[in-house]
Amino acid sequence: MLNPRPIGYVVGLLVMSLGAAMAVPALVDAVNGSDNWRAFALAGGISVFFGGAFTVACSEHRAPGLSIQQTFILTTLAWLALPVFGALPFFFGEPNVNYTDAFFEAMSGLTTTGSTVFTGLDQLPKGVLLWRGLLQWFGGVGIVVFAMAFLPMLKVGGMQLFKSEGFDTFGKILPRAAEIAMSIGWIYVGLTAMAAAAYALAGMDTMDAVVHAMTTISTGGFANHDASFAAYGAAAEYIASFFMILAALPFVRYVQIATGTARPLFFDPQIRAFLAIAAIVVSALILFQSLERGGVSELAIRKSLFNAISILTGTGYASANYTSWGAFPTMLFFLIGLIGGCAGSTSCSIKIFRFQVLFGAVITQIKLLHSPNGVFSPRYAGKTVDEDVISSVMSFLFFFFLTFGICAVTLSMMGIAPITAISGAASAIANIGPGLGPEIGPTGNFAGLPDMAKWVLAITMLLGRLELLSVLVLLTPKFWRG
């Protein structure tokens, strides 16, 4: 019999913590003389009340740990409950949107997608901008812990490949999760502080430096201006590119460096492949632009570097309308958005290691065709890849593209233009941020889409961020009989 108390207890704690965090933007708005602090105070009070009620109601007669079944449910409920309450400040106060838009923005924030329905960002109260940054910052560290603590044990999408580098959380969820948060959290905070200091040196004011540091390290991409990074100078773009790359690498490697072991960072096949892909993509864009414009310029190098890294890591910042560069860059940006960064990072999409496992399996099959009696096995990081890992990766890829197709078709049925429907679905399932075309491209946003389309995209963001299978398994009757 499923015991819901541990699930309710943890979800209640998370909602209560989210509500308490609303005091920070409320204070910022109050100090800056904006009446919008009342929206944060009201939303914070509601969140703390309901979160606290869940926590108290579920605190007694609960098991000391979580089963696999409970962990699957907890994961999905947490990422559903937090946007529900995280949207309240947007609904009660500025920018005075309906709850659909507020929920879309909160879900986009917590899943670090970066798609936005807000316009006039330059005129919004500072507390609202800070809250958007905090949502992405919380979501970023949350997904790192989730990826390293839960997914290897749940065997979702081939993540069991990293079981030895994860954390054994079953049966001791709260104390072990605290230990994970302590080890990874300090690295996360340290990188954020470094990014904020670098942005400040590049000329950003304190609010912009802090918010952009949070949305960079979380690879979220929310910006404080409608023009995104086009509002800043060259130094800010180079700094952002550097920290986006750092955020797309496995955080467990930083923990190992902190404990005196740097070797895994240099020999991780994910990191090598990610950096190689980034270098190839940026070089191809620079070459293309140099051929188009008759020479290489610093501007072309910077715009190619920044925008390519932003899309590859799933951050979603923009400093130029790259869809106007031509057909080749537009298609390249669409494809690299489906690659993503490394597992165990804040980046999103399919992830590098899955392509490596898939490539290894294909090579093995080719070898077997040439030598049917030979014994060949795909390898990753010098070790043989088990069949269950390959099966998990193939299942993930199948459901990833199936969900992408269903979302795109559903959007098109609402009368949305094909380029908007296809790129919007890809942006949501891969948690990239901007899509393609004039409406949701790098110079647009999602505000003009029908409300139903926004709900479809919000749910797709959730599926993409939680690696699909950890949510879809809840829809199977066998799961509830287990």
Please write the tens of the pLDDT for every residue from 25-50: 999 999 999 999 999 999 999 999 99
Q: What whole-number percentage of the chain has pLDDT above 90?
A: 59
Q: What tens digit of pLDDT does each residue of 248-260 get?
A: 998 888 888 887 7
383: enclosing H helix or E strand: strand 383-384
Inform me whether the pLDDT recorded for 315 exceeds 90. Answer: yes
Average pLDDT on 184-211 reads: 94
| The pLDDT of residue 151 | 67
pLDDT at 172: 43
374, amino acid identity: G
Q: State the average pLDDT over residues 206-216.
A: 96
Report the pLDDT value the prediction gives residue 168, as an integer from 0 to 100: 45
User: 412, 420 in Cβ contact below 8 A?
Assistant: no
pLDDT of amino acid 64? 64
Main-chain phi, psi angles of 159, to 5 degrees? -70, -15
pLDDT at 375 over 50: yes
pLDDT for the residue 3? 80
Confidence of residue 2 (pLDDT cuts 50, 70, 90): confident
The predicted structure's pLDDT at residue 245 = 96
Q: Which two structure tokens, joined as six digits, stand for 76? A: 């999905």
* pLDDT average, residue stretch 423-440: 92
The average confidence (pLDDT) of the chain is 88
DSSP string covering 157-216, please? Answer: TTGGGGGGGS---TT-HHHHHHHHHHHHHHHHHHHHHHHHHHHHHTT--HHHHHHHHHHH
CA distances from 327 to 81, 289, 314, 330 (A): 40, 12, 21, 5
Pairing of strands 383-384, 379-380: antiparallel
| Residue 73 neighbours by CB distance under 10 Å | 22
Which residues does residue 134 pair with via DSSP β-bridges, in sequence order?
A: none
For range 220-225, the mean pLDDT: 92
DSSP 314-382: T----SS-GGGS-HHHHHHHHHHTTT---TTSS--SS-HHHHHHHHHHHHHHHHHHH-TT-----EETT
**Residue 480 confidence (pLDDT):** 77
Identity of residue 179: E
Q: Is 321 within 8 Å of 346 (Cβ atoms)?
A: no
Question: What is the structure's pLDDT at 80?
Answer: 94
For the record, the structure tokens of 388 come out as 């269950």
- Amino acid occupying residue 242: F
Give the model confidence (pLDDT) of 129-179 as tens digits.
999 999 999 999 888 877 666 666 666 666 666 665 544 443 444 445 566
Question: CA Rg, the chain, in Å?
Answer: 22
- pTM assigned to the model: 0.91
What is the share, in percent, of the chain residues with pLDDT greater than 70?
91
Mean pLDDT value of segment 223-243: 93
Which positions ≥6 away from 263 have C-beta within 8 Å? none
Distance CA 156, CA 482 (A): 17
Tell me the two tokens of residue 271: 């990191």
CB 107 within 8 A of CB 72: no
The pLDDT tens digits of the residues spanning 67-107 come to: 778 888 888 899 999 999 999 999 999 998 999 999 999 99
- pLDDT at position 426: 95
- Are 139 and 245 in contact by the 8 Å Cβ rule? The answer is no
The tens digit of pLDDT for each residue in 262-291 reads: 888 888 899 999 999 999 999 999 999 888
Q: Where are the alpha helices (DSSP H) in 22-162?
A: 23-31, 37-57, 68-86, 88-92, 99-110, 126-149, 151-154
How confident is the model at residue 482, as a pLDDT?
Answer: 59
Q: Are 113 and 105 in contact (CB under 8 A)?
A: no
Higher pLDDT, 414 or 5: 414
Structural contact between residues 135 and 118, judged by C-beta atoms closer than 8 angstroms? no
Closest among 12, 16, 343, 6 to 173, alpha carbons compared: 6
Q: Is residue 344 left, alpha or beta, with left meaning phi > 0 and alpha meaning psi from -120 to 50?
A: left
pLDDT at 145: 77
Which segment of 1-10, 224-233, 326-335, 447-456 scores lowest on mean pLDDT?
1-10
